[in-house]
Every structure is written in C-alpha cells, then in structure tokens.
Amino acid sequence: MRNPLRSEAEAFQFLIAVIIAALVIVGAAYLNTWLGVAATVVAVAGIVWWLRQEPDPANRTE
Amino acid sequence: MASYSHVEPLEHSHEDHPPAPHYSSRVHPSILGMFLFIASEIMLFGAFFTAYFFVRVVNGTPWPTPPYHLPVYVAFINTLILVTSSFTMHWALQSVKRGNVFGLRAGLLLTFLMGLTFLITQAIEYSRIGFNTGDGAFATIFFCLTGLHGAHVFIGLTILLFMTVRAFRGHFSPEDHRGVEIGGIYWHFVDVMWIVVYTTVYIL
C-alpha cells in the first residue's frame, strides 16, 4: 500500500492525484450537480485504488 | 594516570552511554513524527469541514450568502501560485539528491517567496472582501476554513525559512537532506488542503 506521507516524492505524487481529481469533480459539477456527486464518488474511489497500489521502489527514500 | 589502552567487551559498551535506540517502525522517527502531526492536522481540518457541511448542506445556507461575493479569480491565481510552489519544492529536493546546490537554494527560495505571496494576497483579499466573521454562518465558516489554512501556510513558511537559511549555509548534501524531505512533505500537505478548500468553498 502506498503511503503518501512516507516521502516528499510520494506526497508530491499524491498532490498531483488530488489536483486531477479536483479538476474532474469541478468539470462534472459545472455540467450537472448530480454528475459532480458521481464524479466525486469515482474520484475518491480512484484515489483509494491508487493508494492501494504498491509504489515504485525507485521512488522510495527510506 | 589511568590507562585507556584496553578495549571494553562489546556487551559492556552501553555502560558509558545509552544503548542505540531500537526502531520498531520502518519509517525514520523524524518522518514518523511529521506523519503523526499531519494525521492530527487532517482531523482538525475534518472538524472544520464538518461544520462547513452542516452550515451549507444540512442548514441550506446560500453560498455565498447574498449580497456577498467570493473573489474566485483572485483565489484562482493564488491557487496557481501555491501549486507552482509545490513544483519548486519538489525541484529543490530532486536537486539536493543530485548534488545540485544551486537548484536546492533556488527551489527553496522560490517556494518561500511564492508561499509569502499567497499569504499576502490572502490578507489583501480579507481586507477587501466586504464581510467579516460576524456576518452570518457563511462568513464565519469562510474565515475559519481559509484562516485555518492560512495559519498552516504561515507555519510552512517558518519551516521553509529555516530550510532556506540552512541550505544557504551548506547544511544539506545528497546523503543528508532529511530536513528538506520533511519540510517538503508538510508543504505538499498544505497544498493538498488548499485544493480541497478552494474547490469546496470558492467553486462548488
């Protein structure tokens, strides 16, 4: 499992993931409120899935 | 005069000083400390977001409550500045890992200056926004959430100031850069929280 606070590199990757998720949610909510809610659910699920992946050992600093 | 020529057996070597600490975690203690600190911060932000949720969704308070307006575009520029500062922070750490001292110093200095710009812009935004904390639940939650984040930016800037001064004094190297690593983790956390605050408070 990925820990976004283990290193700066992983925190930075998590930040990028959050920015992408925010853009998707805002874009969907602009079209339709309920589409925004659905996008939020999908984005949160996507981030949870991403966090459950094993990180690349090359990016580890510990 | 006492003779120090003999060597103590290894099993008695701890008598002169404490034994080396045993780390049960795979994470270094200093990073674990930052990890626990950020975990407590997430709970703090969670409490404020719960209040926001109750005010806006459960109570149905108009957001923003007329006749007030939120400076969405100024905050957007501020968001771009803060996101860019995370990139320069990442650049600084990658530079020190490669032994690039100029990249480390420039990255940290730029990150500090952009964080300072964010905070000054937020202070100007507060002075011109046209409402105050006492002007209803909307105003209270707005100032609480953005103010809480602003306080974290201030803490981050203080950490960054120490990191930058240490970088200019040559304290970091490719082998020893934990001070930059920990400050970087905190700075990215502050940035993630702003993305959430900006999205929920200003846009949605």
Specify the pLDDT at position B15: 65
Q: Are B49 and B200 in contact (CB under 8 A)?
A: yes
Name the residue among B106, B81, B113, B76 with its Cα closest to residue B91. B106
Give the number of domains in chain B: 1
Cα torsion at B181, B182, B183, B187 (round to 10°)?
Answer: 100
H-only helix segments in A1-62: 8-31, 33-52
| Six-digit token string for B16 | 């002169």
pLDDT band of B13, cuts 50, 70, 90: low
| Six-digit token string for B139 | 């105003």
Is B18 a domain residue?
no
Q: Can you give the CATH number for the domain in which B103 is found?
A: 1.20.120.80
Is B154 a domain residue?
yes
In this complex, the residue of A3, A11, A25 whose CB is nearest that of residue B199 is A25
Residue of A1 and B173 predicted with greater confidence: B173
Per DSSP, A57 falls in state G
Q: Are B153 and B140 in contact (CB under 8 A)?
A: no
ipTM of the complex: 0.85
Determine the length of chain B: 204
Determine whether the interchain pair A6/B89 forms a contact, defined as Cβ–Cβ distance below 8 Å.
no
Residues in chain B closer than 8 A to A25 (CB atoms): 199, 204
In this complex, the residue of A8, A26, A29 whose CB is nearest that of residue B185 is A8
Name the residue among B90, B39, B178 with its Cα closest to residue A62. B178
pLDDT band of B2, cuts 50, 70, 90: very low
Determine whether the interchain pair A11/B27 forms a contact, defined as Cβ–Cβ distance below 8 Å.
no
pLDDT digits (tens, 9 = 90+) for B138-154: 899 999 999 999 999 99
- How far is the first Cα of chain A from the last one, in angstroms, to the nearest whole number? 15
Range of the domain at B98: 28-203
Specify the pLDDT at position B171: 92
Is B14 a domain residue?
no
Is B2 a domain residue?
no
Determine whether the interchain pair B185/A11 forms a contact, defined as Cβ–Cβ distance below 8 Å.
yes
From residue B192, alpha-carbon distances to B63, B119, B159 in Å are 22, 16, 17
